[in-house]
Every structure is written in C-alpha cells, then in structure tokens.
Amino acid sequence: MVHMSGHRPYVIRGSVSLPEAELMWRFSRSSGPGGQHVNTSDSQVELRFDLARTEALPEVWKERALERLATRLVDGVVSVRASEHRSQWRNREMAATRLASLLAEATAPPPKPRRATRIPRGINERRLREKKRRGETKQGRSGKGWG
C-alpha cells in the first residue's frame, strides 16, 4: 500500500473531504486498453479507505455510511477500483472521484417521509361519473335488446 499526497482534496459534501493521509493506494497491472504498454505498467488503481476508523467524517455520517455500505465493506474498509484508462494518473483521479461520490451517496440524509394526502371528493366523484358513462357507452355497443 502506498500513500499519495500533493493534489486537490476530494470533497464528499460541504466542507468535508477525503483525508489524503487515510487513503491507501495500490497499483497493479491492468487488463484494459493499452497494447504491449499494458504488460509493463501498473496502471490499475485500487483505492482503500478505512471507514470504520476514520475521524474525518462526522459521527452521524459515519454510522449512516457503515450501515448503507455494509455489503461492500471488508473489516470496515471500503475499496474502489479503476482501470479504464491507460494512464495511472487518470485511473487514480477516477478512483478518488468514485470513492468521494460513493461516500457522498452513503452519508446523505434519508429522504423526508411522504405525507399522505386525501383525494378531494370532487375529483373522486368526477372519476366515478366518467366510469359510469364509459360503462354505459360500452353497454350500448353490445347489441342486446335490438330485436
């Protein structure tokens, strides 16, 4: 595992961003595009972040993320891979952006509960009248009582 530093922070939401010191990077050979170049360069990137032990996220966010990402975590660590690009640098950017958006989604507050509203009586009556009329129209097509 390699620790990288020296570029812009990846913002999760508001003033909270991924702490550079807590990101663990691993590079390996990619199976993606690149011809013979692929056999010699470690362009695949795996980015790991210890969600369970981080101090960078507010406690509420952390609990929410741990709960929502439970299926993706291994010992409290979330990992993201990127190998679409030939360049390691672009794959690194991609992995960090993916992790930031994954955490943003996982820490988002739950949606407000829907408030049930009643259907106005007039609308319901109009629907029933229309239904009755439609039924009568169809009844008239049956040819019953013609002779």
Where do the domains of the chain lie? 11-32+39-107
CB burial readout 94-104, b (16+ within 10 A) else e: bbbeebbebbb
- Please give the model's pTM, rounded to 2 decimal places: 0.63
Q: Which helix (H) or strand (E) holds 45?
A: strand 44-50
CATH architecture of 11-32+39-107: 2-Layer Sandwich (3.30)
Contact 8, 93 (CB under 8 A): no
Tell me the pLDDT of the chain (147 aa) as tens digits.
444 445 567 777 777 777 788 888 888 876 666 666 666 677 788 888 888 888 888 888 888 888 888 888 888 888 888 888 878 888 888 888 888 888 888 888 888 999 989 989 999 999 999 999 999 999 888 877 666
